[in-house]
Every structure is written in C-alpha cells, then in structure tokens.
Amino acid sequence: MENLLPHLLVQPESTPLPSGGAGGGHRAARSRSCLVRPSPLSPPEGRGNAPLDLHKLFPNAKEIWLEIGFGSGEHLAAQAKAHPETGFIGCEPFVNGVAGLLSLIDAEKLENIRIHPADARPLLDRLPPASIARAFVLFPDPWPKKRHIGRRFIGPDNLVKLARVLKPGGELRLASDDPTMQAWMQEQMAGSPDFEPAPGLLHTRPAGWPQTRYEEKAVKAGRKPLYFLFRKVSKP
C-alpha cells in the first residue's frame, strides 16, 4: 500500500481514534493506528483552528462535497470515482471506518479525497463560508434514548453550521433507516429557515446515490430507508 497519509487532514498522534461504529464493535488492530497519524499537509491546513485553504487542498477541483460520518467509506469512494473533477472531504471519528476508506482510496487510486478522522463539528467551524456545494449525512447514529437526543447530529446548531458552509442553492442529502431518526430529521429540517425541500422526503433512493452494504443489510432486514434532499435557501 502506498503512503496514504496525505489524504488525512488532521489527527494528533497522541489522540487515538475510537474503533467500531454507531453500535460499538471490536477495537481495531494496533497496526491501524499508523493510518491516522498527523498528515504531512502544510500547516495550517491540517492543524489548529485556522481556516482551511480549500484551493490548496484541491487545486483543480470545480467544487467541494462533504460527507459527515462516512462509515466504511463506500458511498464516499463511489462518489469520488464518479466525479473526479470534484474534491471530497469525509469526516469519520472511528478508526475502522477511516481504515476502510483508505483501503478503497488505495484500491481505486483516488486522488480527490481528504479525510478528517475526528468529530465533524470543529471542521465545520474551519471551512470557509459558502464553500461546499453538497453535503451528505447518511444513516447517522439515531441515538434512540431520550437522554441522548442532544447527541444526534442533525439539530438546530449543526444545521446552522451546515448552512454557513454550503453555497446558496447547495444540497444537503440525508438518509436513515430508523423510524425515530426519520421523524426527527423531518421535524428538524421543517424547523430550519436555512433549507427548503428539493424535493424533501423520498421513499426510493435517487439516481446517482450509491448503495452501501449497510443500506443493503437494512433493506434485507425489513427496514425501510428514507431519503431527504434539501437545498440551502438563497437569501437576498
């Protein structure tokens, strides 16, 4: 495997990534920790709180897309392969997911992906305003217990952050196979003044939306994924 560290935006060597997914999982092999050490990207693009220079990260990209919580990376890698002219930033705090995406990057020789292997919220604060053309939050942890509602990613604070970084007319794509989360997403999006349906709720996966193994398993288990397409409101 070639050196894949340039694909990583930031990860302090002293801060180990958690392993597993939304439902937990086995701790990743110690050897995988080598994949998430600091990137050789020129500071401050890869470190600290300075705004990211997206042109330096993607000098030839026509636009930038963002996926938050990319899981094993199948959707992100498929989109990057289908859209080589687009730059992709993927956020994932779990080492197993990061390692999975790095394997796909290596196998497909993808050059247009950069990984933020940590919580997405600090990264959102560092992205320039109106810099992202499309954002994905697909099958996030539903945090079904009432005492954990505040941990759900889709909520007022994060929608404000997403609206800030999305371009006017930029797309926000959501998906969930959990009925509680589906209702929550509809409620949160309906209450946001920054987004409008485009067309909103869909019961079938739109064209150009790659299916992942997680989604396939959900369908086989009898769960019914719902898809949501919204657009950032263009304000005068």
Per DSSP, the residues of 175-212 read EES-HHHHHHHHHHHHT-TTEEEEEEEESSPPTT----
141 is catalytic: yes
Give dist(CA 51, CA 98) in Å, integer: 23
Please report where in the chains the tokens 């600090």 appear, as a residue: 122
CA-based nearest residue to 128, from 50, 192, 40: 50
3-class state of residue 172 by DSSP? strand
Residues 140, 152 contacting (CB under 8 angstroms): yes
- Residue 78 buriedness (CB in 10 A; 0-12 / 13-18 / 19+): middle
Give dist(CA 54, CA 157) in Å, integer: 23
**Of the listed 119, 141, 177, 194, which one is catalytic?**
141
Q: What single-letter DSSP state applies at residue 72? A: T
Please report where in the chains the tokens 């994949």 appear, as a residue: 35
Q: Which residues are catalytic?
A: 141
